[in-house]
Chain A
Amino acid sequence: MKIKYLKYNMYKKGFLNLFIIIIFILARKENLCSQDTCILRGKVLNQSGVPVSNVSISVEGSLQEPVFTDGEGKFEINIGSGNKWLIINPIIEYKKKRIYINNRQYIKIYLTPEDLISGYDMMPVLQKELPRRNVVASYSELLINKLYKYNSYTVDQLFQGNISGINSILRSSMPGSGASSIIRGVKSIYTNNQPLYIVDGLPILPFNVFNNVISGSEYNPLLSVNYFDISKIYVFKDPLYSSMYGIKGSNGIIFIETLDPSATKTEIEVDYKSILSLFPERIIPQLNADEHRALMSEILFTSGKLEEDIKEEYPGLFYDKYDKEYINYIHNTNWQKLIFRNSVSNFISVKVKGGDEIARYGLSVGYKKGNGIFKNTSFDAFNLRFVSRVNIFRWLKMNAGVSANAISSRLKESAISKEASPILSSLFKSPILNPYKYDDEGNETKIIAEVDELGVSNPVAIINNYLGKNNSNEILANLNLIGNVTKNLLLNTRLCFSYNLLKESYFMPNHGMELYYDGEAYNIAKIGNNEYLSIYNNTFLSYNNKSLNNKHYFNYVTGFHISNNKYQFDWALTKNSHENDQYSDLQSGKDYLRELGGNNRIWNWISYYNSLNYRFMDKYLIDFVVSLDGSSRIGKDAKELTKIGDWPFGLSYSGGFAWRISEENFLKNSYWIEDFKIRLSAGVSGNDDIGEINKKKYYNPIKYRSTAGFYPAIYPNNEITYEKTFMLNGGFDFAMFSNKLILKLDVYRSITSNLLEFTPLEAYIGYDYLAENVGKVENKGVDVEFFYRILRTKNLIWDLSLNFSTLKNKILKLNNKYITSISGGEIANIEGYPLNSFYGYIYKGVFSTQEEADRANLINNKGIKFNAGDAIYEDISGPTGVPDGIINEYDKTFIGSSLPKFYGGIINEFRYKRFSMSILLYFVEGNKVFNYVRYMNERMTGLENQSTRVANRWQYEGQITEVPRALWKDPIGNSAFSTRWIEDGSFFRVKNITLSYKLREGTLNLKGAELYFAVNNIYTYSKYLGYDPEFCYSFNQLYNGIDYGMMPQTKEFLFGFKINL
Chain B
Amino acid sequence: MKVDKLIIVTMFIFSILISCEKFFDPDQEIGIEEKEIFKEWYEYRSAGMGLYGLQQKLVEQLMVLGELRGDLITVTNNADADLIEVNEFRISKKNKYASPKNFFKLISACNNLIKILEEKRPEVTDPKSPVTNYDRLYGEALCMRAWAYFNAVRIYGKVPFIPESLVTIDEIENFVNSSGTYVDSIYIKYSLDGYYNDTIKNFPVTLEKKYYDINLIVDHFTNELEKKVKAVGVNYALNNNDVTWEVTTWNTYAYYALLGQMYLTIGDLAKAAMYFKKIIDDNSEDRYELDNTFAYSNWQNIFRNVNNKEHIYVIWFDKGNYQNNDLQKFFYPEIGPNKYMLKPTRQAVMKWETVWRGQVMNENLNNPALSRMIYPGDPGDYYRGYGISYVYLKGKEPFENIYYMLDLKKQGDIFSAENMIAGYDTVAWKYSIKNNGDPFIHDPFYIIYRAASIHLYLAEIFTYWIHKRPDGNIGTNTMNAVYLLNNGKYYTIAANRSQLGVRGRVGLGSDNDAIRFSNIIYYHDPFTNEIIGYKDIGQNMLEKQRYFEEQILEERARELAFEGERFYDLMRVAKRRNDPSFLAKIVSEKFLGAKRQEIYNLLLDEKNWYVHYFDE
Q: Which residues of A contact B (CB under 8 A)?
A: 304, 306, 309, 395-396, 481, 483, 485, 491, 493, 517-520, 537, 539, 560, 562, 564, 592, 595, 598-604, 606, 630-632, 634, 636, 644-647, 692-693, 696-713, 715, 761-768, 770, 860-863, 879, 888-889, 969, 971
B2: Cβ under 8 A from any A Cβ: yes
Q: How far is the CA of A564 from the CA of B105 in the complex (A)?
A: 35
By CB atoms of chain B within 10 A, which of A599, A602, A636 has the most? Answer: A602
Binding stretch for chain A, among B43-51, B268-276, B406-414, B522-530: B43-51
B471: Cβ under 8 A from any A Cβ: no
The 8 closest A-B pairs by CB, nearest first: A766-B108, A709-B49, A702-B53, A518-B337, A711-B50, A709-B50, A600-B29, A861-B81
Residues 49-76 of B at the A interface (beta carbon under 8 Å)? 49-54, 56
By CB atoms of chain B within 10 A, which of A598, A604, A636, A702 has the most? Answer: A702
Residue in contact with B101 in the complex, picked from A600, A602, A711, A763, CB distance below 8 Å? A763
Does A971 contact B52, Cβ atoms closer than 8 Å?
Answer: no
8 A-B residue pairings within 8 Å (CB atoms): A396-B2, A537-B13, A539-B10, A705-B318, A709-B48, A711-B50, A861-B84, A863-B84
Q: Which residues of B contact A (CB under 8 A)?
A: 2-3, 6-7, 10, 13-14, 17-19, 21, 23-34, 37, 46-54, 56, 77-81, 84, 88, 92, 94, 99-101, 103-105, 107-109, 111-112, 159-160, 162, 169, 172-173, 176, 245, 248, 316, 318-323, 335-337, 394, 422-423, 439-440, 613
Does A632 contact B23, Cβ atoms closer than 8 Å?
Answer: yes
Does A696 contact B108, Cβ atoms closer than 8 Å?
Answer: no
By CB atoms of chain B within 10 A, which of A483, A491, A697, A709 has the most? Answer: A709
Q: How far is the CA of A634 from the CA of B23 in the complex (A)?
A: 12
Does A699 contact B37, Cβ atoms closer than 8 Å?
Answer: yes
Question: Which residues of B are found within 8 Å of A600, using beta-carbon distances?
Answer: 28-30
Question: Which residues of A are found within 8 Å of B10, using beta-carbon distances?
Answer: 493, 537, 539
With A602-B28, A630-B24: A767-B34 Cβ-Cβ less than 8 Å: no
Question: Which residues of B are found within 8 Å of A537, using beta-carbon distances?
Answer: 10, 13
Does B47 contact A711, Cβ atoms closer than 8 Å?
Answer: yes
Residue in contact with A520 in the complex, picked from B7, B50, B105, B337, CB distance below 8 Å? B337
With A764-B176, A971-B77: A519-B100 Cβ-Cβ less than 8 Å: no
Residue in contact with A693 in the complex, picked from B30, B46, B440, CB distance below 8 Å? B30
Chain A residue with the shortest CB-CB distance to B595: A863
Chain B residue with the shortest CB-CB distance to A305: B423
Q: How far is the CA of A483 from the CA of B1 in the complex (A)?
A: 11
Question: Which residues of B are found within 8 Å of A888, using beta-carbon distances?
Answer: 81
Chain B residue with the shortest CB-CB distance to A644: B18
Does A768 contact B101, Cβ atoms closer than 8 Å?
Answer: yes
Question: Which residues of A are found within 8 Å of B27, using beta-carbon distances?
Answer: 602
Question: Which residues of B are found within 8 Å of A860, using beta-carbon distances?
Answer: 81
Q: How far is the CA of A700 from the CA of B32 in the complex (A)?
A: 7
Q: How far is the CA of A348 from the CA of B21 in the complex (A)?
A: 49
Q: How far is the CA of A952 from the CA of B322 in the complex (A)?
A: 47
Question: Which residues of B are found within 8 Å of A766, using beta-carbon distances?
Answer: 104-105, 107-109, 111, 162
Question: Closest CB-CB distance, A877 to chain B, in whole Å?
Answer: 14
Question: Which residues of B are found within 8 Å of A703, using beta-carbon distances?
Answer: 53, 321-323
Question: Which residues of B are found within 8 Å of A692, using beta-carbon distances?
Answer: 26, 28
Chain B residue with the shortest CB-CB distance to A599: B30
Chain A residue with the shortest CB-CB distance to B249: A704
Question: Which residues of A are found within 8 Å of B105, using beta-carbon distances?
Answer: 711, 766-768
Does B316 contact A765, Cβ atoms closer than 8 Å?
Answer: no
With A491-B7, A602-B29, A702-B53: A709-B107 Cβ-Cβ less than 8 Å: no
Question: Which residues of A are found within 8 Å of B37, using beta-carbon distances?
Answer: 699, 710
Question: Which residues of B are found within 8 Å of A770, using beta-carbon distances?
Answer: 169
- Beyond the given A699-B50, A703-B53, A764-B100, please list 19 additional residue pairs across the A-B interface where CB-CB is below 8 A: A306-B423, A519-B439, A599-B30, A634-B24, A692-B26, A698-B32, A704-B50, A705-B52, A705-B316, A709-B49, A712-B109, A764-B160, A765-B108, A766-B105, A766-B108, A767-B108, A861-B84, A888-B81, A971-B78
Does A491 contact B336, Cβ atoms closer than 8 Å?
Answer: no
Residue in contact with B17 in the complex, picked from A396, A517, A606, A698, CB distance below 8 Å? A606
Question: Closest CB-CB distance, A647 to chain B, in whole Å?
Answer: 5
With A481-B6, A693-B30: A519-B335 Cβ-Cβ less than 8 Å: yes
Question: Which residues of A are found within 8 Å of B92, using beta-carbon distances?
Answer: 879
With A560-B14, A600-B30: A518-B423 Cβ-Cβ less than 8 Å: no
Question: Which residues of B are found within 8 Å of A715, using beta-carbon distances?
Answer: 169
Does B47 contact A709, Cβ atoms closer than 8 Å?
Answer: yes
Question: Closest CB-CB distance, A11 to chain B, in whole Å?
Answer: 30
Residue in contact with A709 in the complex, picked from B52, B77, B173, B422, CB distance below 8 Å? B52
Question: Which residues of B are found within 8 Å of A707, using beta-carbon distances?
Answer: 46, 49
By CB atoms of chain B within 10 A, which of A562, A604, A706, A707 has the most? Answer: A707
Residue in contact with A606 in the complex, picked from B7, B21, B23, B101, CB distance below 8 Å? B23
Q: How far is the CA of A889 from the CA of B81 in the complex (A)?
A: 11
Q: How far is the CA of A889 from the CA of B511 in the complex (A)?
A: 57
Does B319 contact A592, Cβ atoms closer than 8 Å?
Answer: yes
Q: How far is the CA of A540 from the CA of B49 in the complex (A)?
A: 53
Does A632 contact B24, Cβ atoms closer than 8 Å?
Answer: yes
Q: How far is the CA of A309 from the CA of B30 in the complex (A)?
A: 52
Question: Which residues of A are found within 8 Å of B320, using beta-carbon distances?
Answer: 592
Question: Closest CB-CB distance, B579 to chain A, in whole Å?
Answer: 29
Does A711 contact B54, Cβ atoms closer than 8 Å?
Answer: yes
Question: Closest CB-CB distance, B121 to chain A, in whole Å?
Answer: 18
Chain B residue with the shortest CB-CB distance to A716: B34
Question: Closest CB-CB distance, B158 to chain A, in whole Å?
Answer: 11
Q: How far is the CA of A136 from the CA of B122 in the complex (A)?
A: 67
Question: Closest CB-CB distance, B322 to chain A, in whole Å?
Answer: 6
Question: Which residues of B are found within 8 Å of A709, using beta-carbon distances?
Answer: 46-53
Q: How far is the CA of A235 from the CA of B245 in the complex (A)?
A: 63
With A703-B322, A705-B248, A764-B162: A485-B3 Cβ-Cβ less than 8 Å: yes
Chain A residue with the shortest CB-CB distance to B335: A519
With A696-B28, A698-B32, A700-B31: A520-B321 Cβ-Cβ less than 8 Å: no
With A710-B32, A861-B81: A705-B245 Cβ-Cβ less than 8 Å: yes
Q: How far is the CA of A709 from the CA of B108 in the complex (A)?
A: 15
Chain B residue with the shortest CB-CB distance to A863: B84
Q: How far is the CA of A518 from the CA of B328 in the complex (A)?
A: 14
Question: Which residues of B are found within 8 Å of A879, using beta-carbon distances?
Answer: 92
Question: Which residues of B are found within 8 Å of A598, using beta-carbon distances?
Answer: 30
Does B49 contact A698, Cβ atoms closer than 8 Å?
Answer: no
Question: Which residues of A are found within 8 Å of B53, using beta-carbon distances?
Answer: 702-704, 709, 711
Question: Closest CB-CB distance, B26 to chain A, in whole Å?
Answer: 4
Chain B residue with the shortest CB-CB distance to A309: B423
Does A696 contact B336, Cβ atoms closer than 8 Å?
Answer: no
Chain A residue with the shortest CB-CB distance to B160: A764
Does A765 contact B104, Cβ atoms closer than 8 Å?
Answer: yes
Chain A residue with the shortest CB-CB distance to B394: A309
Question: Closest CB-CB distance, B175 to chain A, in whole Å?
Answer: 10
Chain B residue with the shortest CB-CB distance to A519: B336
Question: Closest CB-CB distance, B76 to chain A, in whole Å?
Answer: 11
Q: How far is the CA of A195 from the CA of B553 in the complex (A)?
A: 67
Q: How far is the CA of A707 from the CA of B45 in the complex (A)?
A: 10
By CB atoms of chain B within 10 A, which of A518, A699, A766 has the most? Answer: A766
Q: How far is the CA of A715 from the CA of B108 in the complex (A)?
A: 11
Does A645 contact B19, Cβ atoms closer than 8 Å?
Answer: yes
Does A483 contact B6, Cβ atoms closer than 8 Å?
Answer: yes
Chain B residue with the shortest CB-CB distance to A712: B112
Does B321 contact A632, Cβ atoms closer than 8 Å?
Answer: no
Residue in contact with A493 in the complex, picked from B6, B47, B56, B323, CB distance below 8 Å? B6
Q: How far is the CA of A395 from the CA of B10 in the complex (A)?
A: 19
Question: Which residues of A are found within 8 Å of B48, using beta-carbon distances?
Answer: 709
Question: Which residues of B are found within 8 Å of A517, using beta-carbon distances?
Answer: 337
Does A696 contact B31, Cβ atoms closer than 8 Å?
Answer: yes
Chain B residue with the shortest CB-CB distance to A495: B10
Residue in contact with B80 in the complex, picked from A630, A699, A704, A862, CB distance below 8 Å? A862
Question: Closest CB-CB distance, A968 to chain B, in whole Å?
Answer: 10
With A710-B32, A764-B172: A704-B56 Cβ-Cβ less than 8 Å: yes
Question: Closest CB-CB distance, A453 to chain B, in whole Å?
Answer: 13
